[in-house]
Chains A and B, each alone.
Chain A
Amino acid sequence: MAKRLLFILFFCAVIVFCAQSQAVVYINAGSRALTGTTQDLVIFNNGQCRYVLSEVDGTVKDSSSFSITKQQLDSFFVKASQVGFFNLNNKYESNLADGAGIYISIDKNGQVKAVQLHNTDVSAVNELITWLNRILVPHKILINYGQFVKINR
């Protein structure tokens, strides 16, 4: 009887743990070519974050785990709604080859939306990533998908 109880408790603990570590935000920013670096950021619903900076061939250049507060995560969701992220198209592309891009996937209480950008600017995405970059400042992470470089012709 005790064994069965222990098993049920363990099972419940696993379920609770899994439920708490549900990925709710995923950002993949950087290279959209055969070379260059890519940033991966996964934010879980408990505020836990995993960040990896790697080469296109998979070689990891930097990685870290940290957490953001519940308020910061909520503010990110609010910002996503404010900028109209959930109403954006799924994909925005330019006619340029190679270069950089970003993939953003958000699950806000079951409202799921993913947007891809390649060598182009969408103000709503810029605004959202600017907000996120502010949250990430203490962790010395700057999501870069080429938004800082402008054609000067």
Chain B
Amino acid sequence: MNRFILAFLLSSGFVLVQGCTGTRRFGTTLERDEKNPCIINMVVQVGIQGTDADVEAVKADLESCYGRDCFIPCPGDSAKGCKTKIKIVVKKWASLDEDEQRAFHYVQMVDNDGLPSTAYIGKPNSTDNTGSCIWRRNANPGTYCHEVLHLCGLYDKYCARLFDPVTGTIITERNCDPPPDPNSGQCCIADRDLKRCTIPCAGHEDDIMGSGFAVLDCENIRDVLKGAGLDNCPPECCGSDSTFARPTAEYYIIPGYLNFGEKNNKLGHLGIGVGYNHYISPSIGITIDAGIYTKTEKGEGFKETSRLIKVTGGGSWQSAPGHRGPVFSTHVMAGILQHWQRRLVTDVGSRSNKTFFCMDIGAALNWRLNRSWSVRVLQADYLPVFSEDNTTHNFRLSAGIVRHLGR
């Protein structure tokens, strides 16, 4: 009985310590969120045997790579589903106590000698972190990101061949798994000039595990979750109100008012703006925005017509989208603004047509009505316009409708 109480106290203490320090038990933890079954948490803990600068460099590289959410659709309705939350914890190995070290992947930093970094194939939710990695300092962006996927259980997805000039034969360095290798099993062409060659396995041409030029994709995260049987959105999520909306493309039409360098005029240009937003993650999107705005001023023997055409493109961010209710978004874009002007004074006319570089930094508030439509309650844009002589500070106010595609 005493042993039972002792064991209970020890395990409670361990859980308490874990809870207080925020450290997970495993190097790679994959779990459904305790509060929301629609959130799948992925936590990777990396212990760096190196300098403080190494810790900061690795942390920055991994955060830029893994700072994204991924969407997992419900079986019956692909418009809603679960979302992953990824957290990469990077700490100095020496700062961890013995218990914590067991829950961290060990990474030894060494100077960059041109050789690649290494990692072992980890197993999510496993306490076996006895493997060790060697990472080179100042590695190419994406290198540590690739190695962490190994720690999460993923294998490389490329094949490699080597030409041996002594025997004149081609040697297999590695094969695709599952087979076959591309090019009818030949993989790539190694010869007297290019003695070692690599090529991504079929279907992995844009995969960070198959190509040195690719970046992390949500497909990689889904592969990691698959290893732990969490690559699905369960009924307890899909049947609840806690689901997340699939990030889909949207376009908008927003009539608005554009104030363009008109310090002395009471009224600016009126017109209409249209835009298209393609979400690459639930929160991050690529946006293009265009608009045409006109203004006419009349007086005795005087008429001035002015037209502005704006075309910009850039990135946008939106707060976690629900099916209904408010969604806040911001955007930063760059592009051109064309200003056409015709002036008529006592029947003598003059025209001018100028094109400027401009930026568009703004925010918008949408009210989601249903899966297909939102009302853009207000969009405010700051539009600095750059000319050779000076920079003018302009703004635009708009409101309109948003149509969500892909339903």
B244 at interface, CB cutoff 8 A: no
Do A57 and B120 have beta carbons less than 8 Å apart? Answer: no
Complex Cα distance A98/B352, Å? 61
B131 at interface, CB cutoff 8 A: yes
Among listed A2-10, A26-34, A73-81, interface-contacting one? A26-34
Complex Cα distance A13/B165, Å? 22
> Known: A149-B110, A153-B106. Is A100-B115 also a contact (CB below 8 A)?
yes
Q: Which of B71-107 contact A (CB under 8 A)?
A: 106
Do B115 and A116 have beta carbons less than 8 Å apart? Answer: no
B382 at interface, CB cutoff 8 A: no
Chain B residues whose CB sits within 8 angstroms of the CB of A24 once the complex forms: 166
Q: Which of A28, A95, A116 contacts B195 (CB 8 A)?
A: A28
A residues apposed to B, CB below 8 Å: 23-26, 28, 30-38, 40, 42, 56-58, 95-100, 103, 105-107, 112, 114, 116, 119, 144-146, 148-149, 151-153
Do B195 and A40 have beta carbons less than 8 Å apart? Answer: yes
Interface string of B44-55 (1 = CB under 8 A from A): 000001000000
> Known: A35-B143, A103-B164, A112-B167. Is A97-B49 also a contact (CB below 8 A)?
no
Do A119 and B118 have beta carbons less than 8 Å apart? Answer: yes
* A151 to B, closest residue via Cβ: B132
Do B158 and A34 have beta carbons less than 8 Å apart? Answer: yes
Do A114 and B171 have beta carbons less than 8 Å apart? Answer: yes
A34, A99, A103: most-surrounded residue (chain B CB, <10 A): A34
6 chain-A/chain-B pairs, Cβ below 8 angstroms: A31-B114, A42-B165, A97-B150, A99-B118, A146-B115, A151-B108
Do A99 and B116 have beta carbons less than 8 Å apart? Answer: yes
Interface string of B108-152 (1 = CB under 8 A from A): 101001111111110000000001111000011001001100100
Q: Besides the contacts A32-B173, A36-B116, A149-B113, what 9 more A-B pairs have beta carbons closer than 8 Å? A: A28-B162, A37-B114, A40-B195, A56-B212, A58-B197, A97-B156, A107-B166, A114-B164, A149-B110
B155 at interface, CB cutoff 8 A: yes
Complex Cα distance A56/B211, Å? 11
| Shortest distance between the CB of A106 and any CB in chain B (Å) | 7
A97, A112, A149, A153: most-surrounded residue (chain B CB, <10 A): A97
Complex Cα distance A1/B253, Å? 91
Q: Which of B106, B110, B120, B196 contacts A95 (CB 8 A)?
A: B120
| Shortest distance between the CB of A94 and any CB in chain B (Å) | 9
Do A95 and B212 have beta carbons less than 8 Å apart? Answer: no
B6 at interface, CB cutoff 8 A: no
Do A30 and B212 have beta carbons less than 8 Å apart? Answer: no
Do A152 and B49 have beta carbons less than 8 Å apart? Answer: yes
Chain A residues whose CB sits within 8 angstroms of the CB of B134 once the complex forms: 99, 146, 149, 151
Do B116 and A57 have beta carbons less than 8 Å apart? Answer: no
Do B198 and A97 have beta carbons less than 8 Å apart? Answer: no
B194 at interface, CB cutoff 8 A: yes
Chain B residues whose CB sits within 8 angstroms of the CB of A35 once the complex forms: 116, 139-140, 143, 212
Complex Cα distance A99/B133, Å? 9
Do B147 and A98 have beta carbons less than 8 Å apart? Answer: yes
| Shortest distance between the CB of B52 and any CB in chain A (Å) | 18
> Known: A24-B166, A26-B165. Is A34-B115 also a contact (CB below 8 A)?
no
Do B166 and A96 have beta carbons less than 8 Å apart? Answer: no
Do A34 and B108 have beta carbons less than 8 Å apart? Answer: no
Do B155 and A97 have beta carbons less than 8 Å apart? Answer: yes
Chain B residues whose CB sits within 8 angstroms of the CB of A58 once the complex forms: 194, 197
* B211 to A, closest residue via Cβ: A34
* A37 to B, closest residue via Cβ: B114
> Known: A32-B173, A153-B49. Is A96-B196 also a contact (CB below 8 A)?
no
Chain B residues whose CB sits within 8 angstroms of the CB of A153 once the complex forms: 49, 106, 108, 132
Complex Cα distance A24/B165, Å? 8
Complex Cα distance A56/B121, Å? 22
Do B132 and A34 have beta carbons less than 8 Å apart? Answer: no
* A38 to B, closest residue via Cβ: B196
Chain A residues whose CB sits within 8 angstroms of the CB of B166 once the complex forms: 23-26, 105-107, 112, 114
Q: Which of A40, A96, A100, A103 contacts B119 (CB 8 A)?
A: A96
